[in-house]
Amino acid sequence: MIWEDTAGAEKARLEASIPQEWRVTIPQDVKSTLSLPQDTNVLTEAELRITNASATELVKQLGAGQLTSVAVTTAFCKRAALAHQAVNCLHDFFPDAALARAKELDQYLAEHGKPVGPLHGLPISLKDQLRVKGRQTHMGYTAWINKVDQDSSVMVDLLERAGAVFYTKTSVPQSLMVCETINNVNGRTVNPRNKDWSCGGSSGGEGAIVGFRGAVLGIGTDIGGSIRVPAAFNFLYGLRPSHGRLPYAKMANSMEGQETIHSVVGPLGHTVADLRLFVGSVLSQQPWAYDPKVIPMPWRQSEEEAAKAKIASGQLTLGYYECDGNVLPHPPIVRGVKTVVNALQGAGHNVLPWEPYEHPYAVDLANKVYASDGGADVYGVLKESGEPAIPNFQDLINPSLPKLDLNEVWDAQLKKWHYQMAYLKAMEAFEKKHGRELDAIIAPITPTAAVRHNQFKYYGYATAINVLDFTSVTVPVTFADKGLDKVNDTFSPLTKMDEAVQAEYDPEAYHGAPVAVQIIGRRLTEEKTLAIAEEIGRLLGNEVAS
């Protein structure tokens, strides 16, 4: 069988999983599909209200028996079906299994008068790296189609124990190593706000489905921006926790066993409270008892409260940077950073310029690590089916690259440690100079607003933070505005990449595209960094529950 047949059959199976009564017709000339749920009659008014609510609000009502899981699951299944028709975000869709599970949870609540756990009855979307026993995880590789998972990922088991309902697995780019979402099985996933824009990647299907509110919470992974970029491009919050905080065990991956820069797993959602609900629910299940890489560190309420006290008293000290020394962001992003700085300063906090310490060095190191096996792992899987590499990946990593020798990898690992150490020293110097603790750093997460297809060129704003293993939260800020964000006519390129990226800016084409920043905390500061991100959302007026 040639690979096109296998991939085509899988795509047909997926399309057939959308029930007839949830199908709609979408005019070809529509750019934004965000209003599709309102504009069609697949969802009832009640279902629209449910899918527009926050996860925090939903679990409250589910736990109190004010909403049934069947009702909530039905609503999200319908909206996910619309999302897929609109933006092509699914790899797998299993509403029947989800509704059966929802029914069981409703019965449990009726019988026991209490929820099974903190996520009782809540549908959660899964990136197609998370395994669900009995289903498949093709991850965009033709060779992996129809391989049935014998075991669930630890994250899936724990969420299930906390009461979550699974109904979707969402699209990823081939290899997971790029920040747009396209593969030979499913094709391309686009942005619900404008089909000419990317939904981001590699957790692009999650970004798109949550952005469309076909899911209220999604789970992504991030080795070089793959949670933060789709969050940014879909006007969402996204948490890249530090390595060891949340369980990655038994998930599918590219380049498995590569540990020089770890991929991490984390949530995407509409509010920080929802991300906190997710993290707290997982930690309450003691993930370290199942995934040996997880640190035995429960949710530290005291850290959250200390941060909130500092916030309440207007005593935060934040650094910020607009340019990392490699590539200047487009005007909407520079304005986004300024907007956040102004909002915090307006609330009395200290916001001071942060000199991004040798980020170009970190970016080079990251690229070396990502390409360290010369693509052997990814190209090996492609060879199994005979399918070609997607151009987005081939441009980054291809078999002509030399594989690193083991001692070269050790050298890279040592360099990483030394770089991290030097970064801490730079932070210490900042703190000594200003006599204040540096609470977090405000920075671009991409140089562009939600990018046009095949235009994602520079990963460095994301990857430098992966090298540091710092906690980072994407915060949606505003939208590109052709009236405000004029072409930068004093621009003088720092690098060839800088020139190429800036040349892509077109005020008309990007008008309305989501603009985000990342809030960067030290390693394993999820409680504090989320609290600061939440406060920024509150100050901007973007943190709305529904």
- Is residue 407 involved in binding a copy of itself (CB under 8 A)? yes
Identify the H or E element spanning 86.
helix 69-87
**With binding defined as CB under 8 A, does residue 491 bind a copy of itself?**
no
Which residue in the set 401, 409, 494, 540 belongs to the binding site for a copy of itself (CB under 8 A)? 409
- As a whole number of angstroms, the distance between CA 22 and CA 90 comes to 15
Q: Is 182 annotated as a binding residue?
A: no
Residue closer to a copy of itself by CB (options 404, 536) is: 404
Task: Give the rounded distance of the alpha carbon of 177 from its chain centre.
Answer: 13
SS3 233: helix
Decide if residue 410 touches a copy of itself (CB under 8 A).
yes
- Where in 460-479 is the site for a copy of itself (CB under 8 A)? 468-469
The DSSP bridge pattern shows strands 123-127 and 165-170 to be parallel
Which of 472, 478 has the CB closer to a copy of itself? Answer: 472
Phi (first) and psi of residue 274, to 5 degrees: -70, -40
For residue 295, the minimal CB distance to a copy of itself (Å) is: 6
Here's the x/- map for a copy of itself, 499-538, by CB under 8 A: it reads as -----------------------xxxx-------------
**What is the CA angle 55-542-167, rounded to 5?**
30
Residue 545 touching a copy of itself (CB under 8 A): no
The stretch among 48-56, 77-85, 226-234, 402-410 that binds a copy of itself (CB under 8 A) is: 402-410
Beta-carbon contacts of 429 under 8 Å, excluding residues fewer than 6 positions away, are none
User: What is the spatial distance between Cα 543 and Cα 238, in angstroms, rounded to a whole number?
Assistant: 13
DSSP string, 99-139: HHHHHHHHHHHHHHSS-SSTTTT-EEEEETTS--TTSB--T
Per CB under 8 A, 414 contacts a copy of itself: yes
Q: How far apart are CA 104 and CA 388, in angstroms?
A: 44
* Nearer to a copy of itself among residue 420 and residue 455 (C-beta): 420
Residue 519: phi, psi to the nearest 5?
-105, 115
In the complex, what is the shortest distance from the CB of residue 259 to a copy of itself, in angstroms, rounded to a whole number?
5
Determine if 150 is a binding residue for a copy of itself (CB under 8 A).
no
- Secondary structure of residue 353 in the 3-state scheme: strand
Contacts with a copy of itself by CB under 8 A: the residue count is 46
66-69's contacts with Cβ under 8 Å and 24+ in sequence apart are 67/121, 68/102, 68/106, 68/121, 69/101, 69/102, 69/103, 69/105, 69/106, 69/120, 69/121, 69/122, 69/165
* Structure token digits, residue 393: 């990946």
Tell me: does residue 412 bind a copy of itself (CB under 8 A).
Answer: yes
Report DSSP state, residue 93: E
* Residue of 258, 315, 350, 495 that binds a copy of itself (CB under 8 A): 258
Number of neighbours of residue 484 by Cβ within 10 angstroms: 12
Active site residues: 127, 202, 226
Our finding on whether 432 is near a copy of itself (CB under 8 A) is: no
Q: Give min distance, CB of 291 to a copy of itself, in A.
A: 7
Q: Between 253 and 495, name the residue whose CB sits nearer to a copy of itself.
A: 253
291-330 residues in contact with a copy of itself (CB under 8 A) are 291-293, 295-297
Rule CB under 8 A: choose which of 12, 46, 64, 421 binds a copy of itself.
421
Out of 36, 362, 404, 440, the only residue in the binding site for a copy of itself (CB under 8 A) is 404
Per rule CB under 8 A, is residue 166 in the interface with a copy of itself? no
Would you say 259 or 395 has its CB closer to a copy of itself? Answer: 259
Q: How far is the CB of 297 from a copy of itself (least distance, A)?
A: 7
Please report whether residue 144 would count as binding a copy of itself according to CB under 8 A: no
- Is 225 annotated to bind a ligand? Reply is yes
Distance CA 468, CA 261 (A): 9
* Binding span for a copy of itself by CB under 8 A among 155-163, 197-205, 223-231, 371-379: 371-379
DSSP string, 384-442: HHTPPPPHHHHTT--TTSPPPPHHHHHHHHHHHHHHHHHHHHHHHHHHHHHTS---EEE
Among 2, 64, 133, 417, binds a copy of itself (CB under 8 A): 417
Interface stretch with a copy of itself, choices 209-217, 244-252, 312-320, 490-498 (CB under 8 A): 244-252
| Encoded tokens for 111 | 């019988």
Alpha-carbon distances, residue 470 vs 151, 244, 322, 327, 406 (angstroms): 31, 12, 18, 21, 26
Binding residues for substrate: 176, 202, 223-226
Binding residues: 176, 202, 223-226
Q: What residues make contact with a copy of itself under the rule CB under 8 A? A: 244, 249-250, 255-260, 288-293, 295-297, 372-373, 376-377, 403-407, 409-414, 417, 420-421, 423-425, 428, 468-469, 522-525
